[in-house]
Amino acid sequence: MRHLYNRLSQDLGKSRLLLPILQFYMNHSKAVLHDPQEAYRLIFHTVLSQSFMDNALMFDMVMFLRQNLEALCHNTQILTTFFPNIFKILAWNPRTYLSEFEELLPALMSSSTALEVLHVLLDLPCMTIALEVTNHWDGKGEALSQSDTDPTSSTEAFQHIFFRPMFNFFTRVEGGHGDTINRLASFHKAVKDMSQHPRVVVCSQAVPVLLRVWFEVVLEEGTTDFAAHLLAVLLERSALLYDMPDFKTDVKRILSENVVRLFKKFPQILIDVQSEIQDFVMSVSNIMGREEFFANMVWAVGEYCSSTHDDRCSTDIIKRFFDTLEPLTYEMSAMVSMGRVTSSQGHAKIISILMSSIAKLSSRCQDLIPRAVLCLSKVSQQQQQCGAQDPEIQNTLVSCSQHLVNLLQIPNFAAVVLNPCPEIHTGRWHLDSTGLPATLRGVHRIITSDS
């Protein structure tokens, strides 16, 4: 077997024959006292890099990965080392191997590689573009262009000295080489001409499916420290996606849904990443194209900035978050009332969540209640004085503001209503004779009997 392996390793045209030899090594390497690391590296580094377009070989390789998944995870570092190379199989054949990669994806993730795998998934269309352009490029001997003008096509971008490292990054073989955030927006613009390429379109459709699998693994196996790092990444990457309308819509929806699930499981990350969250929510520009994600972040601030969820949440932290949301509420209300927004419903929803979050924060720090009442009252006045707005949106915002103001007039009552016991989700809170629901039912019976 060693002689056969040595002979075949010199002729990569017969690479399919290496897989049965590798299977033999996996099954019997301990018995024959042979270390198969050289064979692993040859196949998953060299062969896969050069032959990802060979359909027969890729089929055999995917089947090999599936059949030996447990052994590869426990006995080797192949999957967590060469996962960018392995993703080339999917990037080149997105329609063929999607279900197989749903099974393989958890095995490619570890505590050290999961975030980089997330970047790979979000950039999978870019990997397909890089493979397409690299595969069809004939002028490898030509010097790279150093022109100051921006390239108008992906081919020109590949020839440009500024963008060539990006192509090399997306076609890298091993993981652990950082990310592309600093120059990603420029790269997306340079390769915009490939957005309708059939392979790129199909690849973009596979990303949401794998993202759901990725988040399921993280929410089941992740730690608080990892969740904190992940949240910082989501704040950036939710705005850095390849410009394909359906792709961006689907991915942003998944990110928005899962950021809520992330906070519900790891509420402590609000304190861990408080600076990044404050920087994110204080800027109106972050709303554009990310209304749902932004709204969920504001909701998380109001919901989890409490000592109930984290003992580190002091009065000073509550005040800092309040100081961030208060001017944003004024600005958003003015924009909606003046009609200076592209999506009235989306922005109105954010204003409603902002008012609710301000009320919740002030109920936990009663020194803030006068400011909260003033802010909510001004929002109500702004909306009532506006005649150009949708009446339904106007009435909803005014009603929400007035309800919260009335609630904050009784601070102790507001603290109970706006910060219910966690047991509310179990149903016990509704059955407890000392809980708010039982008290309200009693008051209702008294009023009804008097009337």
Distances (CA, A) of 377 to 350, 411, 416: 17, 16, 22
Give alpha helix (H) positions in 367-435. Answer: 369-385, 391-408, 411-418, 428-431
- 3-class state of residue 441 by DSSP: helix
What was the pLDDT predicted at 263? 96
What was the pLDDT predicted at 374? 95
CB-side neighbour CA atoms (13 Å) of 431 = 5
Tokens 């020194």 locate to: 367
- The span from the CA of 303 to the CA of 322, in Å, is 13
What was the pLDDT predicted at 387? 56
Distances (CA, A) of 24 to 27, 35, 383: 5, 12, 74
Query: Over its length of 451 residues, how does the chain's per-residue pLDDT go in tens digits?
Result: 888 888 888 877 788 888 998 899 888 877 766 778 888 899 999 999 989 999 999 999 999 999 999 989 888 889 999 999 999 999 999 999 999 999 999 999 998 899 999 999 999 999 999 999 988 875 555 667 777 788 888 988 998 888 888 999 999 999 886 555 678 999 999 999 999 999 999 999 999 999 999 999 999 999 999 999 999 999 999 999 999 999 999 999 999 999 999 999 999 999 999 999 999 999 888 998 899 999 999 999 999 999 989 899 999 999 999 999 999 999 988 887 776 766 678 888 999 999 999 999 999 999 999 999 999 999 998 888 775 567 788 888 889 999 999 999 988 888 888 887 666 656 665 566 666 667 777 788 888 876 5
Listed residue (143, 169, 141, 138) closest to 155, CA to CA: 138
- Please tell me the chain's helix, strand, coil percentages from 3-state DSSP, rounded to the nearest 5: 75, 0, 25
Q: Residue 160 pairs with which residues in a beta bridge?
A: 145
Q: Residue 145 pairs with which residues in a beta bridge?
A: 160
- DSSP at 420: -
- The span from the CA of 49 to the CA of 171, in Å, is 9
Collect contacts of 295-299 with beta carbons under 8 A, ≥24 apart: 295/346, 295/349, 295/350, 295/353, 296/256, 296/259, 296/260, 297/235, 297/259, 298/325, 298/350, 298/353, 298/354, 298/357, 299/260, 299/353, 299/356, 299/357
